[in-house]
Amino acid sequence: MIQLYNSLTRTKEEFVPIGDEVKMYVCGVTVYDDSHLGHALSSIVFDVLHRYLEYRGYRVRQVKNFTDVDDKIINRANALGVPVEELTDKYVESFFESSDGLNVRRAEVHPRATEDMAEIIGLIQRLVDGGSAYSSNGSVYFRVRSDPAYGKLSGQNIDQMLEATRHEMESGKEDSADFAMWKAAKPDEPSWGSPWGVGRPGWHIECSAMAFKHLGEQIDIHGGGMDLIFPHHENEIAQSEAASGAVPFARFWMHNGMLRIADGQEMSKSLGNAFNVKSALEEFSSDAIRLWILQSHYRTNPLLERELIAAAERSMRRIRMVAEIESDTSDGTGEPVEFREFEERFTAAMDDDLNTPQAIAAIFDLVREIFKGRDAGLDVSGAVESIRELTGVLGFTLQNPPDRSGISDDDVEELIQKRKEARDNKRWDDADAVRDQLIEAGISIADADGKTSWWRD
């Protein structure tokens, strides 16, 4: 029985899909810059959820959108002096390049707001016809107070929200709490014709329209970062349920945590502390980045530090060594290594709200059993196949990363042993020479508790 934490009810609940196919919508990126590791966190979490649901026998249809018309996009395009479409095409391709590099499988559908404009306009019209929205000066706004349940996702009261954010009354609004679904055109902005005049959609309506078009008016899982709970997802719920009358719009709301940098800030582009995915992949393998992220529960806020990713890279070497063991290492007489209990531990952990830290612990415990079994002459073939399957659920490729330093892992281990022998024999100059050789090759080392750890810079 899979249990998932539902942000809407604030409890873990048994996951039972509405129909024969799991319908999952995940909020994608606004395409005005390259993806950073905060985006990678969300992509990897929901990629693992998708993979695990399939591992457990479900068919999954995932939709992950691109917001390709937005104030940030328009401002960036104007600053660079390029057409909006040229900018968004560039960064859609950049997103796919980064995701592919992280071994994140593409969703079944990746819609773009500009490609579903007819559906967006049609959904707004439904809301206007139903009285939940109104037009004013060429724009259209949603009547927030028409939804008595507004605030149920974020747990906030409308008046308290307004007081906290100090909303000023915008010209044309009936109430300062109302939000725009269609924005009247401004000079030098992309625009489309509509029943209310030329303009462009607001951010929130895009996701409801794309979910309706590609999945239907009720879905099983809606995912995204915790930073989207309010106002984006709160507004999605209000407008979606007002339009369709189907409650709930999404059976489960799942939100991943946010990356933290060393001083405790959340990572974002606006703060200038975003670690670009492409840059990260130049230093580390996709497996290392995935392991670093999945060693924390998806609802927590992992710390972004290069040394943590480097440590994950070292840990991945041990798993890769097991996966490279020949499929049958026994001599035909050895007893098989028991691996079913580790698979059961893995499944129990993942069933418990996608507890990847505990699932990874089960994998590493099985790795130890395989090494012990091999040394004892046991048949490890079944256990090795199990490792390959379980790591595949987590999206690990188990491929050795390219050697960017000109020095192999075996060479590094040999030099570290050589340095240890020199230190043991108090040949300090020789030990320092080996250390300098490693540093020159881009290898950092650290001595602690009689052991030497290393990582590639």
Predicted confidence at residue 407, as pLDDT, reads 79
Do the two domains 3-256 and 306-393 of this chain adopt the same fold? Answer: no
Q: Convert the pLDDT of each residue in 188-228 to its tens digit.
A: 899 999 999 999 999 999 999 999 999 999 999 999 999 99
Count other C-beta atoms under 10 Å from residue 329's C-beta: 16
- What are the structure tokens assigned to 28, written together? 């994608």
Predicted confidence at residue 378, as pLDDT, reads 95
- What are the structure tokens assigned to 379, written together? 């048949």
Give residue 406's identity as a one-letter amino acid code: G
- What are the structure tokens assigned to 444, written together? 């950092």
Q: Where in the chain are the domains?
A: 3-256, 306-393, 409-456
The Cα–Cα gap between 261 and 164 comes to 26
Q: Report whether CATH 1.20.120.640 matches the domain 306-393.
A: yes
Count other C-beta atoms under 10 Å from residue 88's C-beta: 25
CATH architecture of 3-256: 3-Layer(aba) Sandwich (3.40)
Which one is predicted more confidently, 97 or 452?
Answer: 97
Count other C-beta atoms under 10 Å from residue 447's C-beta: 12
3 φ/ψ angles, rounded to the nearest 5 degrees: -115, 130
Provide the β-strand partners of residue 412: none
Predicted confidence at residue 135, as pLDDT, reads 98
Cβ within 8 Å of residue 35, ≥6 positions away = 29, 43, 94, 95, 98, 99, 276, 277, 278
Q: Convert the pLDDT of each residue in 343-358 to its tens digit.
A: 999 999 999 999 999 9
Is there a contact between 119 and 212 (Cβ–Cβ < 8 Å)?
yes
Cβ within 8 Å of residue 303, ≥6 positions away = 259, 260, 261, 262
| Angle in degrees, CA 414, 419, 423, rounded to 5 | 150
Q: Confirm whether pTM is higher than 0.85.
A: yes
Q: What percent of the chain has pLDDT over 90?
A: 78
DSSP state of 402: P
Q: Convert the pLDDT of each residue in 94-152 to its tens digit.
A: 999 999 999 999 999 999 999 999 999 999 999 999 999 999 999 999 999 999 999 99
